[in-house]
């Protein structure tokens, strides 16, 4: 992974549950990490291939390896939120992560 490709500053957030004053659960998002990333929307060919596995995948985000990133987290970038569907560690080398993401509505 070339450092020059990592030109977008993203925030990876994780879901936390809190209690409101009435005892109900409130979902909040807290920062897990802020890292440099390469964001690539899927082209038509990749999108068709991805639909066989996950119909909502809209892009790939490449970051340096970061332990603890899981599906169910989200990425925040320029006011948009992307739900992490699958984090992939190519070759299990712990050098980079490929995050398959879908543009989410969770805020």
SS (H, E, C) 4-27: HHCCEEEEEEEEEEEECCCCCEEE
Q: Give pLDDT tens digits for 63-103.
A: 999 999 999 999 999 999 999 999 999 999 999 999 999 88
Grade residue 45 by pLDDT with cuts at 50, 70 and 90: low
Mean pLDDT score of the chain: 85
What pTM did the predictor assign? 0.79
SS3 for 49? helix
pLDDT of residue 19: 87
Domains of the chain: 3-103 (2.40.10.270)
Answer yes or no: is pLDDT of 4 > 50: yes
pLDDT of residue 107: 46
Residue 12, token pair as written in the block: 């990876």
């Amino acid at each position: 992974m070339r450092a020059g490709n990592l030109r977008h500053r993203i925030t990876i957030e994780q879901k936390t549950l809190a209690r409101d004053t009435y005892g109900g659960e409130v979902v909040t998002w807290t920062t897990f990490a802020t890292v440099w990333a390469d964001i690539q929307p899927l082209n038509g060919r990749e999108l068709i291939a991805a639909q066989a596995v996950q119909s909502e995948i809209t892009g790939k985000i490449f970051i340096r390896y970061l332990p603890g990133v899981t599906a169910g987290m989200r990425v925040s970038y320029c006011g948009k939120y992307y739900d992490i569907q699958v984090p992939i560690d190519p070759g299990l080398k712990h050098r980079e992560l490929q995050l398959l993401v879908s543009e989410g509505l969770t805020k």
